[in-house]
Amino acid sequence: MKIAVVGATGLVGNVMLNLLLERNFPFTKVYAVASEKSIGNKIDFNNSTLEVIGIKQAISLKPDIAIFSAGSSTSLKWATEFANVGTTVIDNSSAWRMHEDIKLVVPEVNASVLTKEDKIIANPNCSTIQMVVALAPLHKKYKIKRLVVSTYQSVTGSGIKAVEQLKNERNGIKGEMAYPHPIDLNCIPHGGTFEDNGYTTEETKLVNETRKILDDQNINITATVVRVPVYGGHSEAVNVEFENDFDLEEVKKILSDTAGITVQDDPENNIYPMPKNAEGKDDVFVGRIRRDLSQAKSLNFWVVSDNLRKGAATNAIQIAEYLVKNKLV
Single out the catalytic residue among 99, 187, 190, 234: 234
Burial tier of 322 (Cβ tally within 10 Å: 0-12, 13-18, 19+)? middle
Single out the catalytic residue among 126, 181, 187, 190: 126
Known catalytic residue at 181: no
| Sign of the C-alpha dihedral computed for residues 235, 224, 177 and 171 taken in this order | negative
> Please, what is the end-to-end C-alpha distance for the chain in angstroms?
9
Are 89 and 121 in contact, with CB atoms under 8 Å apart? yes
Task: For residue 275, give every residue at least 6 positions away whose Cβ sits within 8 Å of its Cβ, in sequence order, or none.
Answer: 154, 230, 232, 233, 234, 235, 304, 306
Known catalytic residue at 234: yes
Torsions phi, psi for 116 (to 5 deg): -65, -25
Task: For residue 48, give every residue at least 6 positions away whose Cβ sits within 8 Å of its Cβ, in sequence order, or none.
Answer: none
Beta bridge partners of 271: 266
CA atoms within 13 A on the CB side of 112: 5
* Residues annotated catalytic, as ranges: 126, 234
